[in-house]
Structure 1
Amino acid sequence: MTMQTQNPNAAHSLYVLYETLSDEAQQLFLQELSTKQRHKVESVLKKSSCDPDMFESALLSESALAEDWLRPEEDEAWAHLQSDK
């Protein structure tokens, strides 16, 4: 399922829904999202004319960023977007 958000309120609503999930469900959601994004990145890079070193660097960077997104500091940084939590 591909979803393109044209309305910023839709993105906020999805975030609010995400926040209602248990911590375990949030982790599973983020892992699934990370996997899907990794597949998209791999597909784009394989079709592009980038060199293999650049391709490998992009994949490694994506993985490192995904780990950062799961840290408590990230939750704190985005806390101002939470409503009533």
Structure 2
Amino acid sequence: MSDGRPDRGLYADERNPVQLEFAHHNRGKDMKDDYASFTKVKTKEEMRALRTEFRVTLVFIVAVMALSGLAVAYFW
């Protein structure tokens, strides 16, 4: 991050206790930044990309479930 906060991967890393302490100290700021970016108004292009990603994920899940059902029916 450009404002001097440590890397977010340090939240789970316990190798360097000083950096871990700074990461925990800045966790509230990071959460506030994440919330602000999550709730900001999206443009039409961003919404189109999100919808496309959702649809692809949904089709993938349905295909995996259908193939699993066919495999269970075949081997039953």
| TM-score calculated relative to the size of structure 2 | 0.39
Give the number of the structure whose alpha-carbon radius of gyration is greater: 2
| TM-score calculated relative to the size of structure 1 | 0.35
